[in-house]
Structure 1
Amino acid sequence: MKAWDRDNAIATFVRYRRKEAKYTQIELADLTGIGLRFLRELEQGKPNVMTDKVNQLLQFFGHTLTPTPIKNETRSNLDK
């Protein structure tokens, strides 16, 4: 079993941005429609089957899954 990594890029990014926006985990889970348990485990760095496998494949090519900012235009089209 793979160890949890609280300092991985995605866990750190989500935790930092949530706190910066002054949301609790419960509030963010409600706002985004994701499960509270998933959010908590993500912020704690629990390996997720999907992301773990994606990273495994990307690492083969010398890359890793990381959060990337998107343009405001793209963000406004996400709700459509």
Structure 2
Amino acid sequence: MQQISNAAQLGQAVRAARKQAGLTQAQVALTAGVGLRFVVDLEAGKPTAQIGKILQVITTLGGRLRLDGWPTPAEGDQR
């Protein structure tokens, strides 16, 4: 598992996953339902990217977001 603590590291991880999957930025954008410019900016480490779109791209590339060290919400407290 890779540790990511800033936007540049996230961008590098997304780029590596995309290349490993053999996809172009345009293919990822189309499949994830985001714009090409968003994927380009995300891979470049732009710190203002929207988390919802980031999650769409991560999911498209077969990844998932995991937050270690955070408390698990109590059942029924999923607001």
- Structure 2 CA distance for partners of 1:31 and 1:45, relative to 1, 3 Å: same
Cα 1:6/1:44, change in 2 over 3 Å: farther
1:20 aligns with 2:20: yes
Structure 2: how far apart are the matches of 1:30 and 1:49?
17
Q: Distance in 2 between matches of 1:7 and 1:27?
A: 21
Structure 2: how far apart are the matches of 1:44 and 1:16? Answer: 12
Runs of 4+ in 1 over 6 A off after TM superposition: none
Q: Kindly state the Cα deviation for residue 35 of structure 1 after the two structures are TM-superposed.
A: 1.0
Which residue in the other structure is 1:36 paired with? 36
Percent of paired sites with the same residue: 38
Calculate the TM-score normalised by the size of structure 1: 0.51
Q: Give the alignment of 1:3-18 within 5 angstroms.
A: 7-8=8-9, 10-18=10-18
Q: Which is bigger in relative contact order (C-alpha 8 A, separation at least 6)?
A: 1
**TM-score normalised per structure 2:** 0.51
Structure 1 stretches of 5 or more lacking a match? 52-66, 69-80
The size of the alignment, in residue pairs, is 48
Letter in 2 for 1:48: T
